Structure 1
């Protein structure tokens, strides 16, 4: 995939990884549509970017998905890249009796079920394009779960499995399926699990994503994710210990 002359939809594009990818892609000559659930944050993000459209949107609400898909078809008929970036994560101790199933339900619905719904509803549009791409943002935690975000890790493992299967299902179409797997990133999103102290910059994720996207690398291992991936191939237990800081 080249890096210019696309029309791109990024869910959850007002901050962090989504915003940095939007910034990079607009600088490369693409028109980018970013979505967010907070109008003030959406307006602030749009004000910092060129050649961008902001749409207030909650990926967990089906009626809003339908409105978005309808608007894309009417106002952006050339849209050919969808980046499923919106996500939710809770950091907590699963032994503390905090009703982890309720948190898991929200994470799974936001990170996985809602991603599938938006993807399926956008597919008829994407399949009309000469060249198109779907990008699902998962996590290094899809390869080895982190105990601080255990149920979030499970939701991203589901995204990883779905992405692999979808890539095969669409192999004879115009739609390429990418998966972006960041490590810990310095964003507000990862503040609770030490992202602001130990995470890489979101701009690094965007830069490494763009380089891999241009080379048609379909599973994109950013930063330390490449190391965890290598460990997981040879010893899943070693990868698990490494991501959780367990010395053996």
Structure 2
């Protein structure tokens, strides 16, 4: 995708990677709209960052996605980029079904059904634009599992293959499909992750992502250098060692 001159909607971007990427893309000359559930937080973001658009959306709610899509397209008819950023990560113990089932269902609803519903709400419009992009967000954990987050790993693996499949289906349209593949990043995705020495600093991650978008406009996957250890373990032939190393490390960085 081109790095400037776009109109971009990023649901799930009121904090963490989403907000940092929204601001970086705004700085590159794009019109950016962030989406989130909390009206007061959206109002604060709009006040602190003039020019940044805001729309209320709950990506776990199909009706909210439909209403937000109508609002975004009415206010921003030039929209040509959708970044399906919203996601949750939960620690689960599958020895005890009563402790993990509700969490697993919530993760799948947010991380998989959310992007599916978002793409369904916008793809018809995006196909009318001369140059459009859908950016999905998977994870390095789509390619090597962290044992404490089974549903998260599975949801992101599904996003990877969804992205691959949509790219094939939409090849006869003007819509590109780009998959962003983050490593662990210093955000509040898990408790303690913001201070984690194991995770990549947020500013460093976003800076590298923007550079990759700028220098590799035809890339199908956006992979910062630090995620390649996870992404290519199977291709390198050291998958078992990657999984062992990943699960021996403290994800909270100690």
TM, length-normalised to structure 2: 0.90
- Aligned mates of 2:245, 2:134 — CA distance in 1: 30
Q: Is the deviation greater in 237-246 or in 78-87?
A: 237-246
> What SS class does the counterpart of residue 66 from structure 1 fall into?
helix
Q: What do residues 140-161 of structure 1 show as CA deviations (whole Å, max 9, x unaligned)? A: 1101110121211111111111
Say whether the 8 Å CA contact 2:178–2:220 is kept in structure 1. Answer: yes
- Aligned mates of 1:233, 1:227 — CA distance in 2: 11
> What SS class does the counterpart of residue 2 from structure 1 fall into?
coil
Say whether the 8 Å CA contact 2:26–2:52 is kept in structure 1. Answer: yes
Q: List aligned pairs for 1:132-211, cutoff 5 A.
A: 132-192=132-192, 194-198=193-197, 199-211=199-211
- Structure 1 stretches lacking a partner, 5+ long: none
> What SS class does the counterpart of residue 33 from structure 2 fall into?
strand
How far did 1:203 drift? Answer: 2.2
How far did 1:43 drift? Answer: 2.1
Say whether the 8 Å CA contact 2:56–2:68 is kept in structure 1. Answer: no
Q: List aligned pairs for 1:60-139, cutoff 5 A.
A: 60-96=60-96, 98-139=98-139
Say whether the 8 Å CA contact 1:135–1:180 is kept in structure 2. Answer: yes
> What SS class does the counterpart of residue 55 from structure 1 fall into?
strand
Name the counterpart of 1:13.
13
TM, length-normalised to structure 1: 0.92
> What SS class does the counterpart of residue 145 from structure 2 fall into?
coil
Say whether the 8 Å CA contact 2:84–2:135 is kept in structure 1. Answer: yes
- Aligned mates of 1:45, 1:148 — CA distance in 2: 33
Name the counterpart of 1:244.
247
- Aligned mates of 1:202, 1:191 — CA distance in 2: 16
Q: What do residues 166-217 of structure 1 show as CA deviations (whole Å, max 9, x unaligned)? A: 111111211111111111111112335x452221122222222222223122
Name the counterpart of 2:234.
232
- Aligned mates of 1:132, 1:218 — CA distance in 2: 14
Q: Does 1:28 align with 2:31?
A: no
Q: Is the deviation greater in 111-120 or in 49-58?
A: 49-58
**Matched residue pairs, number?**
245
Q: Is the deviation greater in 67-76 or in 126-135?
A: 67-76
Q: Is the deviation greater in 178-187 or in 86-95?
A: 86-95
> What SS class does the counterpart of residue 189 from structure 1 fall into?
coil
